[in-house]
Structure 1
Amino acid sequence: MPVDATLDIERSLFAAGAPVVIGVDEVGRGALAGVVAVGACAVLPTCGEHPTGLRDSKLLSPTRRAALVPLAHNWALAIAVGEAEPAEIDDVGIIAALGLAGRRALIALHAAGVDVAAAEVLVDGVHDWLTPALMSPPSICTRAKADRDCASVAAASVVAKEHRDALMRADHEVYPVYGWDGNKGYGSPAHLAAIAEHGPSPRHRHSWLRASPAAADARGAPAREV
């Protein structure tokens, strides 16, 4: 049974001297269309207890996730979301695009008054894709399952997921044949079939489609050239 994230890791970082902890998580890394988004949630030792029910966004119902967004904003010092566009993913690759989105999220936190340079940045996962994107990186640590275990990262995950889902719903209004209001740009059978029938849109990651046999031949027909 899923359990709520805690502040145990953040408190250990505060005890070690960090004045602020920034939890970071990405959303949309594996999608075929739409932006990749990175959430960044800054918390202080004085922020108090996190909202009840806060956990990795993948473990929450859409209704509960949406309800947690304002609670997370009210709890944290600041939360920001950075994006990298599909064309940027095509140009530089997904790892570098994650770095671009993460850098933009940290810049937004800095503009909101967060002392990013002094922070301990807690990134979900085992690969540090953020440091290479920063000219003067703060202290960054990676942690597997941080989106499950760490409240700051879970909050970043929830806010970034809701942010990206809203963007995909808006893109769906422009390109409804792909069903992005439901699949959110991921490679569902219906999405792959729509790509095979209609070809890719400007919101698709074209380099991914060229590299994906399933996306290129969802119905036994070649994908259109892009």
Structure 2
Amino acid sequence: MQGKPIAGRGGLFIREHEADVLFFENEARRSGYRLVAGIDEAGRGPLAGPVVAAAVVLPEGCRIRNLTDSKQLTPSEREVLFKEIQRQAVCLAVGISDSTVIDRINILEATRRAMEDAVFHLNPGPDYLLIDAVKIRSTIPQLGIVKGDVRSQSISAASVIAKVTRDRIMDEYHETYPVYNFRRHKGYGTPEHLMKIRIFGPSPIHRKTFRRVREYCADFRR
């Protein structure tokens, strides 16, 4: 059954403060859509490492206890939820844009590309997308939701998958570049991280187009 728009033309951003975290999923299914994917990213702000996006389709009516925006969860809580989402999901996928892509096309476009890659690799493919306040290039109908990572369970699930995946990548980079202590700060601009950049200069995974990295790169070259 072909679905119909659920929030005006073109999947416009909407700001309803619905309490039910399945509100948007249920509205999409009432409109005829069946495979509703939530999409979110982790890692737009850090000075190093990739931006990671995830897309998750959960079964109709599925409720995962304690699931919310990954930033509101502890690392151990995220790990537990990561496994539960994997267990319950109809399908999920991730997309990754590394620091070279970010420097070449900018962080917003790199984020979109990671999201688009995640959606592309979903199997079965979704017929509706719920996205945390971003629009992507896709023929699939989509809805951008302000604060979607706390208002849609599917987006919350994607948030957790993206965050845990990225944290694991940064832990691996810590083994390659231990002087930066990526395991502790995951590439974010903490005072410790900024000090390490100033002392050692940027690593190959630093985002050299980001202002605070550029500033310290200049200091290092002098």
TM-score by length of 1: 0.85
Distance 2:221 2:59 in 1: 51
1:70 partnered with 2:83: yes
After superposition, the Cα gap between the structure-2 partners of 1:193 and 1:21, relative to the gap in structure 1 and judged at 3 Å, is same
Shift of 1:18: 1.1
TM-score (norm 2): 0.86
Aligned to 1:81: 94
Q: Secondary structure at the match of 1:222?
A: helix
Instruction: Find the residue that maps to 1:41 and give its secondary structure.
Output: strand
Q: Show CA shifts across 1:50-73 (max 9, x none).
A: 211111101111111100111111
1:122 matched to 2:124? The reply is: no
Equivalent of 1:15 in 25, 30, 33:
30
Aligned to 2:49: 34
Distance 2:206 2:216 in 1: 16
* Alpha-carbon RMSD: 1.9
Indicate conservation of the 8 Å contact 2:201/2:216, yes or no. Answer: no
Q: 1-side partners of 2:214 and 2:68: how far apart? A: 32
| Alpha carbons 1:38, 1:160 under 8 Å: kept | yes
Shift of 1:152: 0.4
Q: Which residue of structure 2 lines up, in the alignment, with residue 175 of structure 1?
A: 177
Gaps of 5+ in 1: none
State the alpha-carbon separation in 2 of the partners of residues 123 and 224 from structure 1.
41
Tell me if structure 2 keeps the 8 A contact 1:55–1:155: yes
1:1-226 to 2 correspondences below 5 Å: 6-45=21-60, 48-109=61-122, 112=123, 114-116=124-126, 119-125=127-133, 127-128=134-135, 130-131=136-137, 134=138, 137-208=139-210, 211-212=211-212, 216-217=215-216, 222-224=219-221
Structure 2 gap segments, 5+ residues each: 1-18
Partner Cα distance (1:50, 1:180) in 2: 34
Across the two proteins, how many residue pairs are aligned to each other? 204
CA distance in 2: counterparts of 1:139 and 1:190, whole angstroms:
43
The letter for the 2-side match of 1:60 is L
Deviation (angstroms), 1:43: 2.8
- Kindly report structure 1 stretches of 4+ aligned residues shifted beyond 4 Å: none
Contact 1:5 1:55 (C-alpha < 8 Å) held by counterparts: no
Quick one: structure 1 residues 56 and 165, their matched pair in 2 at CA, closer, same or farther if it must change by over 3 Å? same
Q: Helix, strand or coil: the match of 1:81? A: strand
**1:99 aligns to what SS in structure 2?**
helix
Identity %: 35
Distance of aligned partners of 1:194 and 1:180 in 2 relative to their CA distance in 1, 3 Å threshold: same
Opposite residue 141 of structure 1, the aligned amino acid is L
Counterpart-to-counterpart distance in 1, 2:207 and 2:81: 30
Which residue is equivalent to 2:13? none
Q: In 1, are the aligned partners of 2:208 and 2:214 still within 8 Å (CA)?
A: no
